Amino acid sequence: MNWQLFGEVVVTLFVIMDPPGTVPVFLALTGNRRPAERTRAAWQAVAVAGFVITIFALFGRTILDYMHISLPALQGAGGLLLLLVALELLTGKADQPDTASAGNVAMVPLGTPLLAGPGAIVATMVFVQDSDGGWDYLALGLGIVVVLLSIWASMRFSVVLLRVLRESGILLVTRIAGLLLSAIAVQLIADSVRAFIDGAG
């Protein structure tokens, strides 16, 4: 197996998907739920992220070309979606019971676009294009699995913090998560606009 490629995949996706950085967002979105629901949300978010990355690794270029969608456009859309979620966290709208239960946060925004966002999708597509043969694909697949497992572990065991933070602490984490998420969203949008200006869109 190509261990060099395996290491590159793990390091690249770990930096992009940032397992420790998902902890405050995960706690903010699932802090008011039962432990069993939080555990299920962690699994679902990882499963959705893995599914999206796999689909784009196999058919990403074909899908984007068929729908005439550029990578900067995908990046900008992901940024706008994350910005909407960030505003809900900052304004406290996500704390309301009807909002918290309105949808499955494990799928959106945790699974995608936070975990399986434009950065992870593009990086995986590039690795697939540069791979040569079955051993490279095996290294790529194992690298993705390792990163997804690290993300699951970060979210799964972050619930221990709930016992320490209590309700007021969770409120603080929610606001911080909203601020960080809004910064990520703005960066995605800015990178998208810059790519369009440079003619890459």
Q: pLDDT for 117-138, tens place per residue?
A: 888 998 898 899 888 888 999 9
Smallest CA-to-CA distance from 25 within 191, 190, 185, 164 is with: 185
pLDDT tens string 88-120: 778 866 555 444 444 578 888 889 888 998 889
Whether residue 135 lies inside any domain: the answer is yes
Whether residue 85 lies inside any domain: the answer is yes
Smallest CA-to-CA distance from 34 within 84, 102, 123, 101 is with: 101
Q: Global pTM?
A: 0.77
Given a cut of 90, is residue 22 above it in pLDDT?
A: no
Residue span of the structural domain in which 83 resides: 3-9+23-198
pLDDT at res. 100: 45
Q: Assess contact for 122 and 188: CB atoms under 8 A.
A: no
pLDDT at res. 93: 64
Helix (H) or strand (E) holding 175: helix 160-197
Whether residue 14 lies inside any domain: the answer is no
Which pair of tokens denotes residue 112? 């995608």
Whether residue 67 lies inside any domain: the answer is yes
DSSP for 25-75, please give it: HHHHHHTTS-HHHHHHHHHHHHHHHHHHHHHHHHHHHHHHHHTT--HHHHH
Given a cut of 90, is residue 159 above it in pLDDT?
A: no
Given a cut of 60, is residue 5 above it in pLDDT?
A: yes
Whether residue 18 lies inside any domain: the answer is no
pLDDT-based confidence at 57, cuts 50/70/90? very high
Whether residue 167 lies inside any domain: the answer is yes
Whether residue 16 lies inside any domain: the answer is no
d(CA 116, CA 66): 21
Whether the ω angle into residue 24 lies within 30 degrees of 0, i.e. cis, is: no
Whether residue 54 lies inside any domain: the answer is yes
Given a cut of 90, is residue 160 above it in pLDDT?
A: no
- Total of domains in the chain: 1
Average pLDDT, the chain: 84
pLDDT at res. 46: 95
Given a cut of 90, is residue 53 above it in pLDDT?
A: yes
